[in-house]
Amino acid sequence: MIKENILETLAYFDMFDYPLLRGEIYLFLKNKQEYGVFDDALKCLLEGGMIHQFDRFYTLKNDHLLVVRRNEGNKKAAELIKIAEKVGNLLIRFPYVRGIAISGSLSKNFADENSDVDLFIITAKNKLWIARTIMHCFKKLTFLVNKEHLFCMNYYIDEQQLEITEKNLYTAIEIGTLIPLQGDTVFERFYTANAWTMEYLPNKNMRIASAKPVKGGFFKSFLEWLFNNRAGNTIDNMLMKITGGRWLKKTQQKKLNSHGIIMGMDTGKHYAKPDPRNFQSKLLARYQFRVDRILRAYEDSLAH
C-alpha cells in the first residue's frame, strides 16, 4: 500500500510538472506511514524504474528539465512571496478583513513569468461583501501604477462559515499549502474547522506560525463602526446580489480568464470563490485517470 501511496502522490503533482522532495512526498501521502517504511518503499520504486530521481527530486517523468523548471520557479516564488507579504500588510488594514493567506501555485513555492499573487481572505461574519467590494475598488485603482495584475483576491470566506464545503483531495492540498500572512487567531479557528483535511493528508501539519496578529487603524475602525448596523447588513446583501449577478452573466456569456477557463464565481452570504465546477471536477477526473494508468503499470511490473 505504501508504494501505491507514493505513486498516487507523485501522480498528483506530476499533473503540474512539479517534482517533489523526499519529505514533500511523505507529507502528501494519503495514509499515515512510518518514515523508515516510507523510505524503503521509495528506494524500491526507484530501483524498479517506476519513479525517477534527479538531484534531490522525485518524479514519474524521466525528464531532468522538470527539476530545472522547479528550481527556477522556487527562486521566482521567493521574490513574489516578499511582495505578497507587503500586500498582506496593506490589505489587513481594510475594514472587516480578519485573515490573509497566500494560495494557488505560489503557496506551493512555485511561480513563473505569468504568475501573480493569489490571496485567500477571511472576513468578519456577515460583512464579506462590503469588505470584498472595498478591496476590489482599491485593486482597480492599482492600474494607475501598473500593478493591477500583481495580486488576485480570488477566494473569500467569513468567520461565520470557516469550513470549506468541497471536501476532496484538491481542496485538502489547497488548504494544507496555504501560507497565512495575517490573522493568527482566525487561522487557528480555520484549521480547526477544516480538520477533515487529515483524512486526505494525515502526515501534513497545518501552518499558522507565519501569520501575524490583525492590525487595526483609524480607517478600518471608522468604516466598521459606520457599517455595524442594519443599514450595513442591507448594503452587504445588496452588494452580494449585484456581484453575483455580474459574474453569472460572465459565465453565461462564456467569457474566459487569462488561463483560458470559463469565468465563474460561486457566491453566497458567507463566501465568494471560483466556481468549483469549472476546475475541480475536471482536475480530479484527470488525476484519477492518471492514477489508474500508473497503478496498472505498477501491477504489470510486479507480474513480470
Digit-coded pLDDT (tens) for 156-211: 999 999 999 999 999 999 999 999 999 999 999 999 999 999 999 999 877 666 78
Let me know the angle formed at the C-alpha of 75 by 74 and 76, rounded to the nearest 5 degrees. Answer: 90
* Helical axes 2-14 vs 35-47, angle rounded to 10°: 70
Q: Which position has the grid cell 458567507?
A: 270
Query: Which pLDDT band holds residue 299 (cuts at 50, 70, 90)?
Result: confident
**Residue 256: per-residue pLDDT:** 60
**Residue 59: per-residue pLDDT:** 96
**Residue scoring higher pLDDT (9 or 281):** 9
Query: Which pLDDT band holds residue 247 (cuts at 50, 70, 90)?
Result: confident
In the predicted model, is pLDDT for residue 60 greater than 60? yes
Angstrom distance (rounded) from CA 203 to CA 165: 22
Using CB atoms within 10 Å of the CB of residue 107, give its burial: 0 to 12 exposed, 13 to 18 middle, 19+ buried: buried
pTM, entire model:
0.90
